[in-house]
Amino acid sequence: MKGDYQDLVDEISALLGAPATLENRDFRLIAFGAHDSDDDLAMDPVRTRSILTRQSTAAVRSWFEGFGIARATGPVRIPAAPDAGVFRGRICLPVRYRGIVQGYVWLLDQEPGPDAQALAAAMEVAQRIGLLLAEEARAGADLSREFLAVLTAGRGWQQDMAVGALRVALGPGGEGPHAAVCVSPWSGEAPASVPGAAAVCVVPWRRAGERERGPGDGPAGQCLAVLIRLRGTDPLAPALTAISRLMPRTAGAAGGGSGTGGAGGAGGAAKADRAAGPRSPAGGKAAATGAATGVSAGASAGATAGVSDPVRALTALPAAWQQATAAARAAAAGPRLGPVAQWSAIGPYRMLASVAEEALDDPVARALRGPANPELARTAEVFLDCAGQAGRAAAALGIHRQTLYYRLSRVEQLTGLDLDEGEDRLLLHMALKAARLHG
């Protein structure tokens, strides 16, 4: 597939007499033509960064999208902006398939510039690129059955067979690092495509501690699973950007991306940006819409997401999926971690999620989490989060030290623990974190 894109980009370069670059709709570089010009302006900072890092910044994206390239059906001329590092004007050929933008072909503008006939011929090539990009995106969605089988298969030969089937389906795209992503809860079907995804599927979701559902139970919950291909110098950036497109706008953004939501979400922000005109790449803020990306989010307003560590072998996907689901649960349990959490950054929840699949009904946590003691559990958790430093804990809780000491004495009375003992502190801290994780 990579060679096909390169051939088509070279064809456009030959038609227009200028080196062309192809980026997907997330401004990630796919292919570029050779630069043999002696003109220093031919490689301005924006173009150089795109080629060297294989991606553009969110500010650059916002700048170019401000000229309406996501809606355009024909070539768009964009003037130079030297103060922002854009020393040469651009010609953008939008790459579309059935009305949905799939990517962009970029050329440096020059006088007198290509004639209308050459541009029309180049747009025909861009349409062929659009078909390839759409087919690649569909291929990722079409792998939902194989991906789901890997995530739900039992251990042993069933899992080996499922991984083998996914490896065959992915083909050459299965080689190299991937990350697993979990978005929960998720309603409806999986999106038709997710930028950078090798496969997506919807997985039944049973919260930790929830019993197996019987025939008479209501509908089970579900989450979205995404297998992200990792490339470039910042490999997890595509995963974070892809997740941010799936999350509701109210949940915020991760990795510099923007969420998708209703009329008041990213779409509204994009309209406001367009009304205000293009913004400088030095200070602009990216705004992505569902219409522009082809992603239809099914995440609820309270959804959280988790990202696994990168894995190089498909046989490691089940473990990566456990990391992703643990991170999503941790993001729901600890607001400071969410709404998108990486497994490597969830701290004690890494261990708690792995050792306690079922909810822990420890009497220590039970004694503190009753309705009669609403402040004691929070006081104890904050005190332990602050490494037992009374001054920090009192400041974090907004109470006097004497009030803190009184509450801690009540904690000791109710639990039978001695908070001067390290093991008692460890037990209480783990019990409270586990209760939060499984609550």
Distance CA 339, CA 324 (A): 13
CA distances from 349 to 74, 148, 435 (A): 51, 25, 11
Confidence (pLDDT) at 236: 74
Confidence (pLDDT) at 264: 29
Confidence (pLDDT) at 181: 93
Residues 6+ apart with CB under 8 A from 39: none
- Which residue in 79, 81, 72 sits closest to 103, CA to CA? 72
Confidence (pLDDT) at 8: 92
Q: Are 233 and 52 in contact (CB under 8 A)?
A: no
Confidence (pLDDT) at 211: 44
Residue type, 84: A
Give 11's Cβ-side CA count (13 Å radius): 15
Specify the DSSP class assigned to residue 210: P
Domains along the sequence of the chain with CATH: 2-139 (3.30.450.40), 143-208+220-260+295-355 (no CATH), 363-438 (1.10.10.2840)
Q: Which helix (H) or strand (E) holds 29?
A: strand 29-32
Specify the DSSP class assigned to residue 398: T
Instruction: Characterize the bridge pairing of strands 29-32 and 178-186.
Output: unpaired
Please, what sign has the CA dihedral across residues 12, 18, 23, 28?
positive
Q: Which two tokens stand for residue 291?
A: 């219409």
Give 42's Cβ-side CA count (13 Å radius): 12
The Cα angle at residue 31 between residues 28 and 32, in degrees rounded to 5: 110
Other residues' Cβ atoms within 10 Å of the Cβ of residue 217: 9
Altogether, the residues listed in the chain come to a count of 439
Distance CA 64, CA 66 (A): 5
Residues 6+ apart with CB under 8 A from 111: none
Distance CA 240, CA 245 (A): 9
Confidence (pLDDT) at 336: 79
Distance CA 274, CA 63 (A): 10
Q: What are phi and psi of 67, to 5 degrees?
A: -95, 10
Q: Taking the chain (439 residues) in consecutive chunks of 10 residues, what is each chunk's mean pLDDT?
A: 77 90 84 60 54 61 87 90 75 90 88 85 94 74 84 85 86 79 87 78 69 40 88 71 68 34 30 37 36 46 87 90 90 82 86 62 72 80 89 92 91 89 84 72
CA distances from 319 to 126, 155, 186, 331, 365 (A): 40, 11, 21, 18, 29
Confidence (pLDDT) at 144: 85
> CB burial class (10 A; 0-12, 13-18, 19+) of residue 47?
buried
Distance CA 231, CA 233 (A): 7
Q: Are 230 and 282 in contact (CB under 8 A)?
A: no
Q: Are 157 and 164 in contact (CB under 8 A)?
A: no
